[in-house]
Structures are given as C-alpha cells and as structure tokens.
Structure 1
Amino acid sequence: MEEMMQPGWEHLVDSVRSGNTSFEKVFGQDFFSYLHENPERSAGFNQAMSRATESTAAVLPEAFDFARFATIADVGGGDGTLLAAVLREYPSANGILHDTEDGLAQAPETLRRHGLVDRCTLAPGDFFASVPEGADVYLIKSILHDWSDQQCVEILAHCRQVLPADGRVLIIEPVLPEVVDPRSVGLYLGDLNMLVNWGGRERTRQEFDEVCRQAGLEILSVVPLGGPGFCLIEAKAIALGVA
C-alpha cells in the first residue's frame, strides 16, 4: 500500500493548490485504473480494505436493526467482510454484494468461509452506471470519500432509483466536525490523503446533507460508530414532489 500511496504525498502542495490528485501525476492514470492493470497490487489493496473494515463489521450489526429488511445490498462491498457480518447476525436476510470484478475477486472465498454462498449474490458492475435492484437497504462504506460531490450524487441517486419507499441507505464514513477540532487531526490527514490519491474528500454532516438531498435522499440520523471518526448515516428517500 505504501508503495502506491506515498509517492503522491511528495506532490501534496501541488494537489492543495490545484485541487487535482497527485496519484495521476505520478503514475499516469487514476488509482483504480492502476489497480486494474496491476492484479497483485489490486489483491493487496482488497486485503487492506478488508482488514480496515473488520472493526466496523464487528459493531454494525448491533448498531442498526436490520431485522425488518429481507435483502441487504453492499455497494462497493469488496470481499464482503461487512455484509458477511450483517448476514451472520441476521440469518433470515439475504445479501447482494456489488463491486467491480476486481473488487469482488476475493469475495467468493469470504462467503464460503462464513457459509453464506447460498444467501449472498455477487453482482459485478459499476455503481456510476447503476446499482442492483431488489434490496431493501443499501450499505455504502468508505466509498463516497473517494469521489467528488457530483460523483457522490450519481452513486446515491442510483441507490435512490431502486430504493423501496420504506427502504434505507446506510452510509458509513468519517464525519468531520463543522468546526476544526485539533483532536481530530487524523481525520484531516485522511482528508488530504483522499485528495492526493483519489481526488475525493472527507465531509461534514452539512456536506453529507447536501449530496444526499441532491440525490433525492434525506438524512434521518448520524450515529458515531467507532473507529477513526466513522459514523453511521441513515437516509431515506425523499417523497416525490417534496423539495
């Protein structure tokens, strides 16, 4: 991971001044295109994301009541670490795991290891084009901070298009304080890392409100989830005709 992430930081000043990612300047292509052309690096990245998700996977099933949902989709869910934790805790639910082919590469083994092959469907695809239909709740963890506001609106709008009236979108991301807090220095370093390597950003509650609103969603609650500033953001569809 450091071999991919560190070179961009050498051009931090350029990124801050221009708003452009340094990763593309160093490697000549965006982060995910680079992973696609380097399978070993892609596998290492997937493994790192799986490990980073373990702490959230340990607390999410108790932090939100999934009991009334029959089908749970994880958008950009990688190897399925998070979705597997929810499905194990809620045995009556089925799952849909959505990511690129590269992102899903290790998912069959995760599902097999947890005995979930028969309860979880793999749905390869591009969340900028669409997300799978048929779920009652859509999980999106550590995805939106990779992208610009407009790209986040696109992803969330695709969730909104297939969301049932009583469904939910659950966003799991760090949430920045509205006023800079020196005790949250790690969150701001993460914000810079998103800029340097992905072109994304961390967001405040108000900024999440805005991208959700533009996508036709309304935030109901924001609950601290543990880990480096992670929160569980629960959103529902705004009724048609309601501004």
Structure 2
Amino acid sequence: MSHQITGIEGFNNVALLVRAFQLSRMLQVATSLDLAGRVADGPQPVTQLASDCGANPDMLLRLCRALAAFGIFRVMPDGQVSQTSHSAWLRKDAEPTLYYAARYWTTRGNWQAWANLEYAVRTGESPFRETFGVANFEYLAAHPYEASLFDLFMQHSPDDRHAAVVEAYDFSNARLVVDVGGGTGALLTAILIAHPDMKGLLFDQEAVVAAAPEMLRGFGLSERCRIEAGSFFEALPKGGDIYTLSQILHDWNDERCLTILSNCREAMGQDARLLVIERVLDEEPGQTNPMSYLADIHMMVNFDGGRERTETEFAGLFTRSGFSAPHVLQTRSPFYIIEARPV
C-alpha cells in the first residue's frame, strides 16, 4: 500500500541528495581538468577550454552546462564559460580550496569502499578491507597517486582547521610542540609561523614525513623544526611542552586509541599538555554540524573501528590512559581542540 505525502516540501532536496554522487563525480572531472583555474582570468570559449585540457568540446560543454545549473560556472549561449562565486572555490589557489577535496573524495579507494557501505551496517566490519583485502593505510602505501592526493587534501584542508586551531588556542608559553602523526607538517607549520620563537618536532612514519622537508624549507622552517620517523604505537619523542594529535584518534578503535594516548602520556612531562584536534559529535544529532556525522560514516567505511566521538567518549579514553578530564575548545572550523593534562 502506497503512502501519500501531503505537500511537496523537501522533496526536491531529498531527490538531489539521492543523486549527489553524480555531482561529486562531475566536480571531480572539473577539477581534474582544472576548469576553475582556466577561467580564473575571464570567460573562455568552451572550444578553447577543450583544446587546452584535451577534452571533447561537445562533451565538455554538456558537463559545464550541467554544473552551471547548480551554480558551478556560468555558460553563455555562445559557449563562453565563466567563473561564479561557487566555482571559484575549486581553484587550486583559493583559500580555503575545494580543489583537492573534489579529487580526493572520488578516488578509487573511497569510491569503491563507499559502494560497499551496506556491508558495514550489516556485519560491523570494514567495507574497505572487504573491498580491497587490506587496511586503508596499507592500500595507500601501495597506491602512491591516491596517497599523494590524500596528503594534499590534508595539507589544504577545506575547513581551514589549521589556522582555526592556531587562532583558538594559546600556544605562546610552549617552547617545543611535538606533532604526533603530523603528516607532512601542515598544522605544525601554521603553529610555528604564528609563533616565531617556538620550535617544532614532526613525528610520523618514514614514508609520510619524506615529503615534509621540502614544505618546511618553503616556509623557512627547516632550522626550527626537527623531523623524526616512527610509529605512535611505539615510543614517542620526549621533551615537548605540547603534544598534538590532529585527526588521528578517529582512525582507530578504542583499544588502539588507548595505546596512542598511553604512549603520549609516557613521553610527556607533568607540565606538558595534550591537544587532540577532532570533530566532536553532539550527544543528540542535529544540534550543530551534520558534516561531522558524514565524517563518522566515512570512518566506518574506511577504517577498522574508526569513528568520530562525543565529548563523553573522549573523556573515557583520557581517563583510562592517565589524563585529566578534557577541556573542549570550539574553533571556527568543524574541529574542536580537546585539551588534557597528565595526572
């Protein structure tokens, strides 16, 4: 028996959500062709765009028209394509930029694992491992192109979380900040630029930090930032005033998180501080940012036991690993700073 809904309110919004994956793929193609960058200085004939990026003119026109229907680019009757306020965010040099996000979210690893979402809901197991036979980070190690896109996506965070963290927290009394699992050093770079008298230590796996020296040199930070390779599941460098874990704990189940936190606690002096930078889920969904719940499902799809957490869940992890109850600071981004001290 069919259910007749009175009124049409919300129908078109839900209909668009049902087909949102198609828009994601269209945006990925647009960024792969760097269309936003190619029209940055003014309108371009679609024939010229097609020639410049090696595309079929008719197919490219149809792609641009479809995106223009959603406010991404403007297409004139004569085939001229121009920028809009929405397409401008797809430029590489936009601040913040969605260029790398549009490419990263539709990589083969993400795309195929998400296609297997129902497997997670039914079994409680990782769709990523079921799809590819290995864990996410093992997959990235074997697929350098996707790994490089992941690093660029993290480095050019579209939510501008690195700057937001620096603005929201007082780092001024720290002499040495240790960024645990800090990737290529994007967060640490933002902190050191804002505090010229501070030094940094970037700690991550050897294959990850391999790209960090070039970035640090580019910002003139080579003399102020030391790099050490290692695993946060083992011993961590000692001597830091502040230890940061930015988007690390959400990759792991509770037991693995307790190992990471306990290793941080072991490395920290009694006066040191731990800053965990993560999304914090509302105890009741729908109060703040719905993207945090989308992020939670992404962790469910891609990682064994990965998840976003509530403040109560973070407090439980800190208490069990030798830290005080957390103090949660909001930033202007979707990410929070969760501060804890050794007890």
Q: State the AA in 2 paired with 1:207.
A: E
Distance 1:132 1:233, change over 3 A: same
Extract unaligned runs of 5+ from structure 2: 1-103
User: C-alpha root-mean-square deviation of aligned residues, in Å?
Assistant: 1.5
Task: Encode CA deviations 1:170-194: one digit per residue, 9 max, x unaligned.
Answer: 0000000011226533211111110
Find the counterpart in structure 2 of residue 184 from structure 1: 289
How many Å apart are 1:132 and its aligned residue? 1.4
CA distance in 2, matches of 1:121, 1:57: 19
Provide the residue aligned with 1:78 in structure 2.
183
Number of equivalenced pairs: 237
Query: For the Cα contact (< 8 Å) 1:219–1:233, is it kept in 2?
Result: no
Question: Structure 2: how far apart are the matches of 1:10 and 1:170?
Answer: 34
Give the equivalent residue in structure 1 for 2:146: 41
Alignment partner of 1:31 is 2:150:
no
Aligned to 2:13: none
Amino acid corresponding to residue 175 of structure 2 in structure 1: A
Contact kept? 2:318, 2:326, Cα under 8 Å:
no
Q: Per chain length, whose mean CA-contact separation is higher, i.e. which structure has more relative contact order (CA < 8 Å, sep 6+)? A: 1
Which residue matches 2:330? 224
In structure 2, which of residues 220, 224, 230 is the aligned counterpart of residue 119 of structure 1? 224
2:307 aligns with one of 201, 205, 218: 201
Q: Runs (4+) of structure 1 moved beyond 6 Å?
A: none
| 1:241 equivalent in structure 2 | none
- Determine if contact 1:54/1:82 at 8 Å carries over to the other structure: no
Contact 2:282 2:288 in 1 (8 A): no
1:214 and 2:320 equivalent?
A: yes
Is the CA contact (8 Å cut-off) linking 1:14 and 1:22 kept in structure 2?
yes
Task: Give the TM-score normalised by structure 2.
Answer: 0.67
Q: Output the TM-score relative to the length of structure 1.
A: 0.93
What amino acid is aligned across from residue 137 of structure 1 in structure 2?
Answer: I
Structure with the greater alpha carbon radius of gyration: 2
**8 Å Cα contact 1:60/1:225 also seen in 2:** yes
On the 8 A contact 2:235/2:267 being kept in 1, the answer is no
Task: Flag the 1:53–1:145 CA change in 2: closer, same or farther, 3 A.
Answer: farther
Q: Distance in 1 between matches of 2:335 and 2:114?
A: 23
2:168 and 2:330 in contact (8 A); partners too? no
Query: Is the Cα contact below 8 Å between 2:261 and 2:321 reproduced in 1?
Result: yes
**Where does structure 1 lack aligned partners over 5 or more consecutive residues?**
239-243
